[in-house]
Structure 1
C-alpha cells in the first residue's frame, strides 16, 4: 500500500465556558510534499500550549511531508476573563498627579473621566483551558489526521496504479532490448568467425591479436549482466510497492536510481540505434515513476 504526502481535512467545533459564552473553532490540516517531516502550527495565543502535543501526534501518524495546522477562533474575547482594576497602577497615577500639583502649583480636580484616559488601568486574565477542552481539541485533531490519511491512501492507490504501469512498460522494453542484444552478439560472433577463418597460417601472431580484440569487443557488447540486475531491481521495486512499512518513498526512490544506473550502462555499452532508442524509452518511464514517487510517504 502506498500513501501520498498530500491531503486536507477540516472541521468546526464549538466549546462552552462556565459563564455561558461559546466559541467556535475552525480546525484544518493540510499536508504537502517534503523530503522530511515538518510541521507549521498557526494557533491562537490561548492554544499555544497544545503545539508540542499536536506536532507529536502529526509526526507519529503522517510520517513525512510539510504539515500545516490551522486553528481559527471566531471570538477570542471568549477566552478573556473579567476586567479587574489595577489598583497599584491607579494609585501610582494619583500619587504622580499630586506630586505635579505640589511642585508646579497646578490646580484642578482628578476625576474618573480623566483617569479612564490613562492606559493600563485594568488587567484581564486569560481563562484557563481546562482538561476537557484540551481533550476535545486533541481528539478533533486526531479525527482530522485520520481523514487526511484516508485521503492519502486513496491518492496513493492511484499513484501505485500508474507506477505499476510504468514498471510493466520497462519490463516489456527490456525484453525487446535483450532480444535485440542477442541478435547483435550472434551476428557479431559470425563476423568474427568468418574473419578469423580467412587468416593464413603465416599470420599466427596477427590472428591472435585479432582474436583477442574480437573477444574484447564481444564482451563489451554483452549486456546480459546489466539486464539481469535491472530485472532484479525491478522485481525488488514491485515487491516494495505492496509490502513493507508505510514509509517507503525514500527506499523506492533509491531503487529507481539503481534501475537508472543499469539502463545508463546498457545505453553506454551498445551503439545500436534500436537499443539506444529503447533505453531512452526506459529512462522516460523511470522518470515518470520517479515524479510519482516524490509524492509518496
Structure 2
C-alpha cells in the first residue's frame, strides 16, 4: 500500500523528573529532507535522533521538534541570607536616621532583588536519551500511521482515475478504426472526382495514398504502450510499503503516459477523438498532482 508524505505524530516521556515532548511532521519533497530541533542540553545527540528517523522514512520534508515540558521534578528555592541581612541593616539605619515607621517585613524582604533565587533541576542528557529515543519512535510511528491512512485514500482515488484512463484508451481504439475508414472514404471520393474531371483513375496511386493515410493515423502502438504503462502503474501501487517507496517510479510512468497521450493527440484528425485526448491529459494531470504526495 502506498504512503502519503504528509503526516504528524506526537509523543511524550519523562525521566528523572524532566518531561519531553516530541513532534514529528512531514510534507512532500523529492528526497528525504530531515531537520531536528533539540533543546541545547541535548544538542550533541542530534545525529542519533536523525539516524532513528531515517530508518523509518524514505522521502519527505520532515521536521522533528523536541521540547522540555514541566515534569515531576521540583525547582528548589535558595535564600541568600547575607544579602537579606544587609537589606535589614540598611533599613534599620534609615529608620533610625529619618525617624521612619516599622522596618521591613518578611514578604517585602523576600521581594527584594538578590534575596531569593531559584535553582533548576540539573538535567542529565545521557539519562534522557533512552526515553527520548522511545518517544521519537512512538511519534514517528504515529506519523507513519497517518501517512498510511492518507495513502490508502490516495490509492483509491488513483485507481479510479486509472479506470477512466483505460476507458478512454478503449474509446480511442474504437474511434481510431472509424477515423481510418473515414479517411479512406474521403480519398476514394477525391479520386472519383478527379476521374470525372480528367477521365483518369490511378488505382495504384490511390491504394498507396490510403496506406500512407492509414499509417499516419494509426495509434495502435501508442494504445498498446499506454495500456502497458497503466498496468505497470497499478502493479507499482500494489507493491508499495514501508521501506519500499514508489513515488519516483510512479512519476516516471506518468511521464511515459503523457508522452503516449501527446503522440495520440498529434495523430488525432477527428474532433471527438481530439476532445477525448484533452480529457486524457486532464486525467493524467490530476494523477500527477496526487503522485507528488506519494512516498
TM range (shorter): 0.7 to 0.9
Of 223, 227, 231, 1:231 maps to: 227
Aligned to 1:240: 236
CA separation in 2, counterparts of 1:157 and 1:258? 24
**Residues 5 and 65 of structure 1 are in contact (CA less than 8 Å); yes or no, is this contact kept in structure 2?**
yes
Matched, 1:177 2:175: no
Of 30, 36, 41, 1:41 maps to: 36
Aligned length: 252
1:119-178 residue CA offsets vs partner (Å, 9 max, x unmatched): xxxxx9x754235x2111111111111111111111000000000111001111111111
Matched, 1:217 2:225: no
Aligned to 2:84: none
Q: TM-score, normalised by structure 1?
A: 0.76
Aligned to 1:32: 27
Matched, 1:159 2:154: yes
Q: TM-score, normalised by structure 2?
A: 0.76
Aligned to 1:61: 56
Of 257, 263, 267, 2:265 maps to: 267
* Structure 1, unpaired ranges of 5+: 17-21, 81-123
Matched, 1:4 2:8: no
Aligned to 1:115: none
**Residues 196 and 211 of structure 1 are in contact (CA less than 8 Å); yes or no, is this contact kept in structure 2?**
no
Aligned to 2:293: 295
Q: How does 1:112-151 map to 2 (within 5 A)?
A: 127-131=123-127, 133-151=128-146
Aligned to 1:281: 279
* Structure 2, unpaired ranges of 5+: 76-119
Structure 1: which 4+ aligned runs deviate by more than 4 Å? 193-204, 206-210
**Residues 199 and 207 of structure 1 are in contact (CA less than 8 Å); yes or no, is this contact kept in structure 2?**
no
Across the aligned residues of Structure 1 and Structure 2, the Cα RMSD in angstroms comes to 3.1
